[in-house]
Amino acid sequence: MNWSPNSWRSKNAKHIPNDYPSAEALAEVENTLSKKPPLVVASEIEKLKKELAKVSRGEAFLLQGGDCAESFSEFEADRIIRYFRVFLQMAVVLTFAGGKHVVKVGRVAGQFAKPRSSATETQGDITLPSYRGDNINGLEFNEESRLPNPERLMMAYNQSASTMNLLRALATGGYADLAYVNNWNLDFVKKQGKTATDYLKLCHHIEESLDFIGSMGKGSVETDTVSFFTSHEALLLGYEEALTRKDNLFGSGGFYATSAHMLWIGDRTRGLDDAHIEYCRGVANPIGVKCGPSLSPDELLALIERLNPKNEAGKLVLIARFGSDKIAQHLPAMVKKVTEAGKNVVWSSDPMHGNTITSSNGFKTRPFERVASEVAQFMEIVTANGGYPGGIHLEMTGDDVTECTGGNIGVSEEMLPSQYNTHCDPRLNADQSLELAFEIASKLREDRKEQRMAAAGI
Ligand code: PEP
Ligand code: CO
């Protein structure tokens, strides 16, 4: 197919910095990276693809989420643990309600680089290059920090490796054991809000179910290991190229991006003949495509054919991110087109990026109500047009931040400055993330009930 890990270099590459002070220094770091151990291996990537194939058939549900941008300064073991715990809690809520396997994909262990709507930022009478993510330049507003520095790529790789190491241990070392589901809610018990009460009730049901299965003498249910996968936006193609490996370990012979299990292409870099599509069409990983208001159904079909010419199930995740006020206008025709063309895809909803507003006190925020509304509309529209609404893609954290307004916890605009910690876009905090999972779960539960009734001819 006339592709190589560096064939993207002859294409138009948007949002990749071209102002590194030394091209040689950048090339040297990329060369060093090309010899480093892969962060993930082909067999795991293929396993994720199989799980996503189930989603595309309506047999499972995809939960994808994490920071908008990971950062060097917020890199702490406890933060990763809190994030992983809320992520698992959401997965438990969705599994219990939907009665389907939940495919767990973190936006983590590599989610650093950011496309920016403006190349520069002005404060007072000083204009500097925009912050582009910790693997490129620094958030601090001074000339030196805003200059791209290739050493940051190595730091991002090292941080990704150690994050991955902890996440693997948590996923397989017993922490994720459903039998300990109550141990995860200590913070919630203290809080006593509606989300906490809902979660405690669910824990009780789970315990009852596990006891029931145990008392039936069916042996113990295997509950202590989960499959957890990683993903990030494939923005910095030099980094991705350096971590691309031909699979010689597992015999597939294909090329794999080994920086994460899944990569996605952002809404600003999905030009059909541009560099990002060129790179992503050649790797065997599952690929996400962000679908925003400027994408037409015909363009989407062309992208699908370019990225997945064999129509392999589990390969493509279409991530709708229109905004609660625009989704009804754009998504129906897209789903219809893809369904009629018989394409195997996973439909997922990113209810974050189309719902960003500026609060009256000047903070970039996302009202919880808009986020929830976009997800609800997404589920109805995809179903009505012959697809399966199979996933959710969130910017979220396990911490008590105040970045998005609303929710049971009632974050007001006045509260935004108190814990506004994000390096880029506003994230749902732990309570809001779990609340959203409950809202989706109740919709999944309704669908499941309808299916049962239909099967019983009622
Ligand atoms: C993101 O996911 O952080 C992002 C920039 O999204 P989008 O490409 O959809 O704007
Ligand atoms: Co974002």
Domain boundaries, the chain: 7-176+225-455
| 293 within ligand 1 shell (Cβ under 6 A) | no
More confident residue, 220 or 345: 345
Distance of CA 72 from the midpoint of ligand 1 (Å):
20
Report how far apart the first and last C-alpha atoms of the chain are (Å, whole number).
Answer: 52
- What would the pLDDT profile of 360-382 be if each residue is shown by its tens digit? 999 999 999 999 999 999 999 99
Looking at residue 195, its pLDDT comes to 87
Distance of CA 233 from the midpoint of ligand 1 (Å):
8
Residues 6+ apart with CB under 8 A from 169: 175
Helix (H) or strand (E) holding 391: strand 389-395
Q: Which residue has the tokens 């969130």?
A: 394
Residue 58, amino acid:
G
Helix (H) or strand (E) holding 197: helix 194-215
Best residue among 265, 317, 350, 423 to mutate for probing ligand 1, ranked by most atoms within 8 Å of CB: 350
Distance of CA 223 from the midpoint of ligand 1 (Å):
34
Q: How many CB atoms lie within 10 A of CB 298?
A: 11
Under 8 Å between Cβ of 279 and 234: yes
- Average pLDDT, stretch 117-134? 96
| 353 within ligand 1 shell (Cβ under 6 A) | yes
- Average pLDDT, stretch 131-144? 98
Listed residue (179, 184, 185, 169) closest to 221, CA to CA: 179
| 427 within ligand 1 shell (Cβ under 6 A) | no
- What would the pLDDT profile of 17-63 be if each residue is shown by its tens digit? 999 999 999 999 999 999 999 999 999 999 999 999 999 999 999 99
| 321 within ligand 1 shell (Cβ under 6 A) | yes
Under 8 Å between Cβ of 304 and 316: yes
| 68 within ligand 1 shell (Cβ under 6 A) | yes
Listed residue (293, 345, 342, 301) closest to 320, CA to CA: 293
Listed residue (190, 278, 191) closest to 240, CA to CA: 278
Listed residue (13, 23, 18) closest to 129, CA to CA: 18
Task: Give the position, in ligand 1's atom list, of the atom nearest the Cα of 290.
Answer: 9
Helix (H) or strand (E) holding 49: helix 42-56
Q: What architecture (CATH level 2) is domain 7-176+225-455? A: Alpha-Beta Barrel (3.20)
More confident residue, 225 or 92: 92
Average pLDDT, the chain: 93
Instruction: With a cut of 60, say whether residue 221 has pLDDT above it.
Output: no
